[in-house]
Amino acid sequence: MALTPPKLDDRHFQDIVDEAKKRIPQYCKEWTDHNVSDPGVTLIELFAWMTDMVLYRMNRVPDLHYIKFMQMLGITLRGPVPAEVPVSFWLSEPQPNAVIIPAGTEVASTQTETERSIIFTTNEDFFVHPPELAKVSARVISGSKRVFREQNLRQLEAGFDGLEVFSTLPNVDDALYFGFRNDLSHHILGLDMDFDDAGGAGIDPTMPPYIWEASASVDGREGAPRWLRCDVDIDTTRGMNVPGVMRSWGSVLSEELIAQ
């Protein structure tokens, strides 16, 4: 709960003017013209304006007082810390081996006409690993049962075979799994996928009714979620109805990526 600093004096300009006019009969009974056209009232308003400014400054508690109040409550100020921002590094083309982004790599924000660029520095080494696809399988609903259909990777890579991503009539529990041998945590994963052209009746191609998730159970922590939602950067497949590219990422992206 935030502490609201009290006002030492809550009077304003008009309050001060009204209070001064009420005191006129007590100190000067001969003064009977209290209209704004009277020179004496003009002087009252002038001094009320000056007093109002003094009260405004008095009610603004200095920062030093706030610090002392926090110290009395046992609150101490944290020391200065560097700003942190998320940064994405993109490869210019696919690489056969892991690429290292060494600690100390500098990244600058965009410089404008009015603002200088801000330079950030990475504080540890980071490796961009090429994904090692190990398994592709689909989970479809057959009757009242879930059926897993594992695909032959060699035939898929050679383009000799295709697969049905979902059931003939897609169901809620249908899923497509991509399993990887290596850890792809904090990686952006792109998939170039070739689909048979379809109309996609009944769906909005710009908002397809499926989600991307990544397995998050590899660390073995108790209570950790089984799957984590991934953000989709781009999806040009129009709901898996035309060939295109899907690109997504998550804070954890390991072992399996699932669309369901």
Dist. CA 128–CA 101, nearest whole Å: 8
Q: For residue 238, how many other CB atoms are within 10 A of its CB? A: 19
Residue 45 pLDDT? 93
Q: In this structure, are strands 254-259 and 175-183 parallel, antiparallel, or unpaired?
A: antiparallel
pLDDT at 153: 78
What was the pLDDT predicted at 46?
93
The pTM (predicted TM-score) of the whole model is 0.56
- For 25, the 3-state DSSP assignment is helix
What tokens does 181 get? 């041998």
Q: Are 235 and 226 spatial neighbours (Cβ–Cβ below 8 Å)?
A: no
pLDDT on residue 203? 77
pLDDT at 141: 75
Comparing C-alpha atoms, which of 17, 60, 19 is closest to residue 41? 17
Residue 9 tokens, joined = 């004096």
Quick check: 141 and 174 in contact, CB under 8 A?
yes
At residue 254, the pLDDT reads 35
Residue 252: predicted pLDDT: 43
Tens-digit pLDDT profile for the chain (260 aa)? 455 666 667 888 999 999 999 999 888 888 888 888 888 899 999 999 999 998 888 777 677 777 777 788 888 877 888 888 888 888 888 888 889 999 889 888 888 888 888 888 988 888 888 888 888 888 887 777 777 877 777 777 776 677 777 777 777 878 888 888 888 888 888 888 888 777 767 777 778 888 888 887 655 555 555 788 888 888 888 888 888 888 887 644 433 333 33
Q: What are the DSSP calls for 154-202, one per residue?
A: HHHHHTS----SS-SS--TT-EEEEEEEEE-TT-EEEEEE-------TT
Helix axes 13-27, 39-59, angle to 10 degrees: 130
Task: Print the SS3 string covering 68-97.
Answer: HHHHHCCCCCCCCCCCCCCCCCCCCCCCCC
Which amino acid is located at 52 in the chain?
A: D
